[in-house]
Amino acid sequence: MANDMMVKELEQVVVRFSGDSGDGMQLAGNIFSTVSATVGNDISTFPDYPADIRAPQGSLTGVSGFQVHIGANKVYTPGDKCDVLVAMNAAALKTQYKFAKSTACIIIDTDAFQKSDLEKAAFKTDNPIEEMGIKQDVIAAPISQMVKDCLADTGMDNKSMLKCRNMFAVGLVCWLFSRDLTIAEEFIREKFAKKPEVAEANIKVIRAGYDYGHNTHASASHTYKIESKVKTPGRYMDITGNKATAYGFIAAAEKAGLKLYLGSYPITPATDVLHELSKHKSLGVMTVQCEDEISGCASAVGASFAGALAVTSTSGPGICLKSEAMNLAVIMELPLVVLDVQRGGPATGLPTKSEQTDLLQVLFGRNGESPMPVLAATSPTDCFECAYIASKIALEHMTPVVLLTDAFVANGSAAWKLPKLADYPAIVPPYVRPEMQGSWTPYQRDEKTGSRYWAIPGTEGFTHILGGLEKDNKTGAISTDPENHDLMTRLRAEKIAKIEVPDVEVEGDKDDAELLIVGFGGTYGHLHAAMDELRATGKKAALAHFKFINPLPKNTAEVMKRYKKVVVAEQNMGQFAGYLRMKVDGFVPYQFNQVKGQPFLVNELVQAFEEIIKN
């Protein structure tokens, strides 16, 4: 009986769901992540989508994966390899087995390992387990047939029934990890609220998967339990980076007392921000899906001129196309947030994969001297904070701001404690004041910040014109005077330089580190985990991770020069390292660079960093 089985308590575990891109692996992973986050576990997820819109069913290129790392304590990454691998077809086993630990439990649907399935997955024999040399425990179950048997009395057709296969796998994994199905059932009912019959069919299947494990022990020697140990009391939800970004913009608009406008053009992996914001018209959110990237950005510039918190969202290719309109916001000195969810490039590149290769583009990829503040979110939950901060900087300093995320943090998720808006700092734009009437000109500036004052159209006595031609600093009229252009260029640069950002913090052995690890943006979790592993083996290591790229924190040079050995690790060919060399005299760091479209592997980072310490 199930209650005679040993329950093994773990500190952390990694589960990877994989199958055909039509098998619902992302939904399966989301449900299990939500269940885990709701009971208080810390989580980090990594959805691994195929680049094909719809690859042939059962093909090697069409495999979709979703990995989730669950911990009793803080977890920083989705994990290098998994403890449980769910492979819903032969192609999934073939391509995803490399992610399984030597001690992993592997779950397969034997009904999807027929001769034709094995041929599509390039197996040479009819025994893939033996052919691949798999020694781990394998739970081999006829999942497809059991799902059809479970739903036989529902009147559903064969295709509709098989769409529920993923729920059987979720139920089986929930049994394996002693999870209560109540939360999963609530998730399913909410997900399929408009199709209650579909919701109940999926719930019936998820219970069948749980019962299968419970009644047969499913070839497992024990089940697992992961208790929560460090959660701060509060209300939590499993949130993706894109959804957190959308919420951050909404919160900033609410705090500033402005309407939120998003002008966007759909592009992977940024489109979910448009989708999410379009749901919130009741909160004063306006979304426009434009005909192209430049119109999305240009419409946002117009909304900003009209007095809204204006945002435009895209990925790397769209930044290229938006650059002219972004520059319009620079010279008009209007607040605008440009969200860049980085993906693999160049060109169309790897549209569903993650990189950090847009850094120099957003810093310098525009004509003329056109400085912009640049922030980079460090995790899915940090996307909320960064969207709020980027909006605050844009509105208070009258400038376009670039917020960098990437496909890893945007599509990944984590347990997020719902914040209280009252705890966030005020957002106070530099509006014109009544006493300025009669003496105000469009480029009159606040002496402390260098920001020009904002006159919303329709404000009596403050009629004005802005445009893309250079303006006279004093009158706001069009000017081609050389001295004036030089002055305006310097004033725009000084305004950005004056923005106050927090010092970069050093974690770990900050006083006596043998090696300082430096990174920015979405690599934080992997670099932190690598630092922890180095310290666990007796090495002295520290981490300085950057959220604010332009302007850099004031203590950047001091921190970079404090340590004998510094390594800059990034998912590009050295863009941040080059930028730091430009900004810090005499700074010559070691570099760790990968451009694989995948997150770093912690064990590879540790090996590389150990070599640097040793040499």
Collapsing DSSP to helix, strand or coil, 18 comes out as strand
> What pLDDT, on the 0 to 100 scale, is given for residue 49?
84
- Residue 7: which pLDDT band, with cuts at 50, 70 and 90? low
Instruction: Find the Cα–Cα–Cα–Cα dihedral 54, 59, 61, 67, rounded to 10°.
Output: 90
- Residue 216: which pLDDT band, with cuts at 50, 70 and 90? confident
Distance CA 25, CA 93 (A): 14
How many Cβ atoms from other residues are within 10 Å of residue 369's Cβ?
14
Q: E strands within 72-171?
A: 82-87, 100-109, 137-141
- Prediction pTM value: 0.92
- Residue 226: which pLDDT band, with cuts at 50, 70 and 90? confident
- Residue 1: which pLDDT band, with cuts at 50, 70 and 90? very low
- Residue 56: which pLDDT band, with cuts at 50, 70 and 90? confident
> What pLDDT, on the 0 to 100 scale, is given for residue 363?
98
Question: Which CATH entry fits the domain spanning 2-225: 3.40.920.10, 1.20.900.10, 3.90.660.20, 3.40.50.1110?
Answer: 3.40.920.10
- Tens of pLDDT along 70-85? 998 899 999 999 999 9
Say if residue 86's pLDDT is above 70. yes
* Radius of gyration of the chain measured on its C-alpha atoms: 26
Dihedral sign, Cα of residue 404, residue 406, residue 410, residue 416: negative
Distance CA 142, CA 376 (A): 46
Distance CA 143, CA 302 (A): 55
- The two tokens of residue 614 are 């040793």
Please, are residues 223 and 178 in contact by the beta-carbon 8 Å criterion? yes
* pLDDT, average across residues 267-286: 97
Instruction: Find the Cα–Cα–Cα–Cα dihedral 580, 586, 590, 591, rounded to 10°.
Output: 30
- Residue 3: which pLDDT band, with cuts at 50, 70 and 90? very low
* pLDDT, average across residues 567-575: 98
Say if residue 517's pLDDT is above 80. yes
Domain boundaries, given as residue ranges, for the chain: 2-225, 238-423, 432-500, 506-614
Say if residue 324's pLDDT is above 90. yes
C-alpha distances (whole Å) from 282 to each of 250, 286, 292 are 11, 10, 26
Distance CA 359, CA 572 (A): 9
Say if residue 219's pLDDT is above 90. no
- Tens of pLDDT along 386-444? 999 999 999 999 999 999 999 999 999 998 999 999 999 999 999 999 999 999 999 99
238-423 and 2-225 share a CATH fold? no
Say if residue 256's pLDDT is above 60. yes
> What pLDDT, on the 0 to 100 scale, is given for residue 2?
41
Query: Considering the chain, what is the average pLDDT of its residues?
Result: 94
Q: Which fold has domain 506-614?
A: Rossmann fold (3.40.50)
Closest-CA residue to 571 (of 366, 407, 374): 407
Q: In terms of C-beta density within 10 A (0-12 exposed, 13-18 middle, 19 or more buried), how is residue 335 classed?
A: buried
- Residue 220: which pLDDT band, with cuts at 50, 70 and 90? low
> What pLDDT, on the 0 to 100 scale, is given for residue 579?
98
Distance CA 201, CA 196 (A): 9
Q: Are strands 236-240 and 413-417 parallel, antiparallel or unpaired?
A: antiparallel
- Residue 564: which pLDDT band, with cuts at 50, 70 and 90? very high
* pLDDT, average across residues 193-200: 94
- The two tokens of residue 288 are 């426009």
- The two tokens of residue 209 are 């998967």
Residue type for 283, please?
L
- Tens of pLDDT along 429-480? 999 999 999 999 999 999 999 999 999 999 999 999 999 999 999 999 999 9
> What pLDDT, on the 0 to 100 scale, is given for residue 10?
76
> What pLDDT, on the 0 to 100 scale, is given for residue 439?
93
How many Cβ atoms from other residues are within 10 Å of residue 511's Cβ?
9
Say if residue 223's pLDDT is above 70. no
- Tens of pLDDT along 593-604? 999 999 999 999
Biggest CA pair distance of the chain: 88
Phi and psi torsions of 350, nearest 5°: -115, 85
Report DSSP state, residue 62. G
Please, are residues 313 and 273 in contact by the beta-carbon 8 Å criterion? yes
Which of 45-59, 92-106, 126-140, 256-270 is the least confident region? 45-59
Please, are residues 171 and 212 in contact by the beta-carbon 8 Å criterion? yes
* pLDDT, average across residues 571-581: 98
Q: Which residues contact 445 (CB under 8 A, 6 or more apart)?
A: 451, 452, 453, 491, 495
C-alpha distances (whole Å) from 260 to each of 147, 336, 549, 594 are 45, 11, 25, 37
- Tens of pLDDT along 227-250? 666 567 788 888 999 999 999 999
Say if residue 544's pLDDT is above 50. yes
pLDDT exceeding 70 applies to what percent of the chain? Answer: 96
Q: What is the CATH number of domain 238-423?
A: 3.40.50.970
Please provide the DSSP assignment of 595-611 as one string.
-SSSPPPHHHHHHHHHH
